[in-house]
A and B are shown apart, each in its own frame.
Chain A
Amino acid sequence: MFYIMVITVMVLILFPFIWQILTSIKSESELWSIPPVWIPKKINLDHYYSVFIKRPFLTYIKNSFIVALSTTVFSVFVASFAAYALARLRFKGKNIILSLVLAVSMFPGIAIVSPLYIFMMNIHLLNTYIGLIIPYTTFTLPLAIWNLTTFFKEIPFELEESARVDGATYMQTFIRIIFPLAAPGVFTTAILSFISAWNEFLFALVFNTKDAMRTVPVAIAMFPGEHELPWGDMAAASVVVTIPLIIMVLIFQRRIISGLTAGAIKG
């Protein structure tokens, strides 16, 4: 009975994605048959071919990759400074800063997209990478700061004190002692920032309208043409961008879960 429930839940969770994989390897005639063919007779890679050869899908992946990776680097960099201060230094206004950071994570993107659009237009950052990296960094900061703060707090304070006694500056203690010790936390934060930047839609849709500058989520949403619905191509593209994420999630699942819940439960 218990196992039946577990299996039911697993099937419900995984079915849509498995269906997507099956769809992506069907031939065109199997794809359009009614009722739907469940298991294709043979593996057909036409849709994958079409996605990579007929469409500039590698460009979309490159765009997403550059934007998400830069966002991750900036976000971890800026957040680790802030988190170090918030976790380990004494100064006034810490709680206010933490609440402010949390409040920003709840901002609806739509509430700021219009002035940012005008701003990016005026300084000619529409259809550029940096025009996405800047807002993405700001929006991944809250999670990154909360996460890193939790991790930094767990490092014993004696280590820092002895370094200070030896004459190290605050900055040296941070870079040589705290940051390396928090490496797993930094890594978790990086994964979470990367996934959230990789998946973002609204800003990418609005700011980067040139086809050559589109990111993956927007590109896939734009696949349907005026008169055609290339379901096979969309399925293949979805599988291509999802498999790396799933592999990442499977490898780092413990870290991701602890990272996601750290902010929510301890905060």
Chain B
Amino acid sequence: MIDFMNTTNKAHKRSMTESQFGYLMVMPALLCIGLIALYPVVQTFWLSLHRLRLQFPDMTKFIGLQNYITIFNDDRFINATINTVEFTVISVALELVFGLGIAMLMNKEYKGRGLMRAAALVPWAIPTTVSAMMWKFIYNDQLGVLNDILVKLHIIPEYKAWLGSEATAMGAAIAADVWKTTPFMALLLLAGLQVIPKELYEAATVDGASPWRQFTTITLPLLRPTILVALIFRTLDAFRVFDLIYVLTGGGPGNSTETLSVYAYKTLFRNMDFGMGSTLAVLIFIFIFIISLIYIRILSSGGKED
């Protein structure tokens, strides 16, 4: 009986075509993605068309694009957008420059190179909230070691409240982000550097090209695709920054570090305003979508040139 079942089962499986089997295999993953990522995005959009406060569910009402009109006239939204763009552009630019420098250091052969590569993974592996806590203590106005170092080096005359002042809070947040993600950027770029044939540099050296010229004529052009991919990952990551800001400053002082994700979170789960919060979430999603499109265009046009 059991044998009989097995044979029919096998026969059945054998009759399945390759493409049928292929679809069967990707199905669980697609179901997960569909149910937990794609469908909720559509739902978020649907919620954004409603007045919906979780503590007053009876007052829920479809209001069309009213939330969007409100949000575009909201100074706090405009402020959060500017903060997000500022955070993203400055931190990603710094990460690229430092990351490239570190990648080139790691690409050279010397004793302890393995140690350096391992060290570069440390900030990446530490949970963002934990690293945010670490920096919060380093930046502390009284106990923080940053003040101690800078005063002892006579760079600043007296202790400063780095996270407590609107002038320095964003810079401090950016520095913490740069610390956490530059090593990761460096590892990505290192992988790209290692693919560049060494002979190119040897030939250039024979021709008498300076190191800077070798960098601009060989390294940068050949590294371009890797740089672009690294930039996409980091830009999208930085644009949705939440943990770091939430723990480090909570968006303050005076909303000076509040990014779109933090604003959306507060609207959703502090004010329990799911209509307006979803509107913010949809806008973040649209911004990210636009950024991806721009990068994909640059990437594909780069592909045609090669």
Which residues of A are at the interface with B, using a C-beta cutoff of 8 A?
2-3, 5-6, 9-10, 12-14, 16-17, 19-20, 23, 31-32, 34-36, 38, 78-79, 81-82, 84-86, 89-92, 97, 100-101, 103-104, 106-119, 134-135, 137-139, 141, 145, 169-171, 174, 195, 198-199, 201-202, 206, 216-218, 220-221, 223, 231, 234-235, 238, 241-242, 245-246, 248-250, 253, 256-257, 260-261, 264-265, 267
Contact = CB atoms under 8 A, between A and B. Distances in A.
Contacts of A78: 28-29, 32
B179 to A, nearest CB: 7
B contact face: mostly helix, strand, loop, or mixed: helix
Contacts of A234: 133, 137
Interface string B181-198: 001100110111001000
Contacts of B191: 257, 261, 264-265
B76 interface: no
A224 to B, nearest CB: 9
Contact of B240 (A86, A108, A139): A108
A265 B18 contact: no
Nearest to A119: B40
Contacts of B188: 260-261, 264-265
Nearest to B284: A108
A97 B34 CA distance: 12
Given A35-B148, A85-B23, 7 more contacts: A17-B123, A81-B29, A90-B19, A112-B40, A138-B33, A220-B129, A264-B191
B102 interface: yes
Contacts of A97: 26, 30
Contacts of A198: 127
B108 interface: yes
How many B residues touch the partner, as a band? 35 or more
Contacts of A260: 184, 187-188
Contacts of A119: 40
B292 interface: yes
A246 B87 CA distance: 28
Contact of A13 (B120, B233, B239): B120
Contacts of A135: 36
B33 A141 contact: yes
B25 A82 contact: yes
Given A2-B110, A10-B119, A13-B123, A138 B36 contact: yes
A200 to B, nearest CB: 8
Interface in B107-142: 108, 110, 112, 114-135, 137-138, 140, 142
Contacts, number: 272
A36 B129 contact: no
Contact of A31 (B37, B143, B179, B269): B143
Given A112-B44, A234-B137, A13 B126 contact: no
A60 B30 CA distance: 31
Interface stretch (B62-70, B88-96, B209-217, B273-281): B273-281
Interface in B9-42: 10, 13-14, 16, 18-19, 21-23, 25-26, 28-30, 32-33, 35-41
B144 interface: yes
A81 B187 CA distance: 29
Nearest to A112: B40
Interface in B251-266: 261, 264-265
B52 to A, nearest CB: 9
B97 interface: no
A253 B268 CA distance: 39
Contacts of B40: 111-112, 115-116, 119
Given A36-B144, A89-B21, A90-B19, A201 B133 contact: no
Contacts of A108: 239-240, 261, 281, 284-285, 288
B176 to A, nearest CB: 9
Nearest to A242: B126
Contacts of B243: 201-202, 217
Contact of B143 (A36, A100, A220, A241): A36
B161 interface: no
A264 B236 CA distance: 14
